[in-house]
Structure 1
């Protein structure tokens, strides 16, 4: 059987949010249970940037693969999936959509595990691709009653709100100040490239769940260190990755709990409606492989998880 070569158009057309969420939920549980080999990412120095690799092996599914992206010129990303039973290359996905939607799906699993139950008011700081895929995926785990979005460029927030209403049927509005997208929201997602905090810790009300996607080291961080002091629960998708950066996290890594452990019931997550929960998204290796495999099955019209059979 020929190798499937898939691009961004195929990802947009064939990968739905519930499928992506199920794939990453399974990978997160597998990581906790020892069924996912997911080392921290590797960086190859290219002089003016890096070529970065994340690799993972899903033992039960009989799959392994990698994702490659660069920090030099912003080239297309690449995800490749092999079967570990026969070594055959199954699929190659190129472009930016798969990685962004995988990150969105991980964020949605965190919301499902840690946010208060029921419909949510979602606040987004940032209006780019990462903010979009968070909203896209969260809709698979929660009813989104309203979306409020703020961005450095107000016109981008307005465009985002219109798109959310038109494509996802979500009640959405753009606001000028990040504080308006943070206060009095059930879930807050920061999806920026900002090296300085885009919110204040005291804007976060008791009971709120926060996901941070952007910079979060001591020298560059989109959320303040004080948010860690206020958080009752700190989650991350990969403890190995969270502890592998050359510079320490702005949030206390020694307090972080693996999201997979919470999903498995091995670690407590939210224990009170008033808890503030914070998810530090760092990118669990192998989740791209899981989502690419699910996309492979969707394209071939197979039940999810059948990729192992070839």
Structure 2
């Protein structure tokens, strides 16, 4: 009689929130390098039409780890119906055992935050950063959470449409991260004289002006970035000296034309590996177009596993 299979470990948002930023950034950095080397196979996300303009979105990836040629594989599924709980599943690539299930809404944004931190670390000028954040939602929060793991934060300001949400963001940063954040009254105040600007909104019209962006600034855009609707100025692609993304395949797979020409982009994994240039002069403007490399969710979920099962 065969032994009972080991049940997969079940994780929720509380477990994900307990994961420290440095561990998350390390897991994602390794996955980005693996993607560049071919050890992470990550096809563009798939959308299953659920009618009325809604969909079930699935991302998947297979990650070969260490000396193993099998490693891990898995998927993340989330909906655009009501934005309900997401599910991430991780299997052992050697025996097909389901190792972990992560449910909730935290893992995806934490993964995106970790990718953003890696991008800032390779593109921003060296040293402490004066950070400006436009947006006060979950994506903006996880960018701040992760960035503290890679750079000292010298001065942080945040602006959003809601003064109440902006103030709450600043209070939370002090309470949970020990980071002093100043809530400012306009996006202009959050962009001018910043080393790094994080734009994390759902706006399809620009929330900042080209004239506010100083030479040497790094900008990460997380929200809409198609020709038809974009949170950053239409002139930014022509002014940027370097434009890069976490997945060229996903950027090219947008259903609408991308604001930033993918032919000009380089991949973050290639930059990390030294195979593609990024910033080469202090005065250059660099732009990171975050699209959420598939498979990185699996890598971050695997980081929750105990002992030798963790990556």
TM-score w.r.t. the length of structure 1 is 0.95
Residue 94 in 1 paired to residue 94 in 2? no
Q: Look up the match of 2:84.
A: 75
Which residue is 2:37 aligned to?
33
Aligned residue number for residue 118 of structure 1: 127
Report the Cα offset of residue 60 of structure 1.
Answer: 2.5
Q: CA deviation at 1:248?
A: 0.8
The structural deviation recorded for 1:201 is 1.7
Residue-by-residue CA offset, 1:184-239 (whole Å, 9 max, x unaligned): 00100001000101111221111111000001111111112211111100010000
- 1:138 counterpart = 2:135: no
Instruction: Indicate whether 1:11 and 2:16 are aligned.
Output: yes
Q: Can you give the 5+ residue segments of structure 2 that lack an aligned partner in the other structure?
A: 1-5
- Equivalent of 2:187, from 178, 181, 193? 178
Query: Are residue 55 (structure 1) and residue 64 (structure 2) matched?
Result: no
Q: Retained in 1: the 8 A contact 2:304–2:310?
A: no
Q: Is the 1:206–1:275 contact (alpha carbons within 8 Å) kept by the matching residues of 2?
A: yes
1:219 equivalent among 213, 224, 228: 228
Rounded to whole Å, the distance in 2 between the matches of 1:307 and 1:207 is 38
Residues in 2 aligned to 1:270 and 1:169: alpha-carbon distance in whole angstroms: 30
Equivalent-residue separation in structure 2 for 1:58 and 1:11 (angstroms): 20
For residues 191 and 262 of structure 2, what CA distance do their matches in structure 1 show? 24
Retained in 1: the 8 A contact 2:73–2:298? yes
Task: Check conservation: 1:98, 1:288, Cα contact below 8 A.
Answer: yes
CA RMSD of aligned residues (A): 1.0
Post-superposition Cα deviations, 1:90-131, rounded to whole Å, max 9, x if no partner, equal 000011111110000000000011001101111000001110
TM-score (norm 2): 0.95
Counterpart Cα distance in 2 of 1:224 and 1:249: 13
For structure 1, the residue ranges without an aligned partner over 5 or more in a row are none
C-alpha distance in structure 1 between counterparts of 2:120 and 2:193, whole Å: 16
User: Out of 292, 305, 310, which is 2:301 matched to?
Assistant: 292
Determine if contact 1:145/1:170 at 8 Å carries over to the other structure. Answer: no
CA shift for structure 1 position 163: 1.1
Partner of 1:271: 280
Counterpart CA distance in 1 for 2:310 and 2:180 is: 37
Give the whole-Å Cα distance in 2 for the aligned partners of 1:219 and 1:38. 27
In structure 2, how many angstroms separate the alpha carbons of the residues matched to 1:168 and 1:2?
A: 34
Q: What is the CA-CA distance between 1:245 and the residue it aligns to?
A: 1.0
2:218 counterpart of 1:209: yes
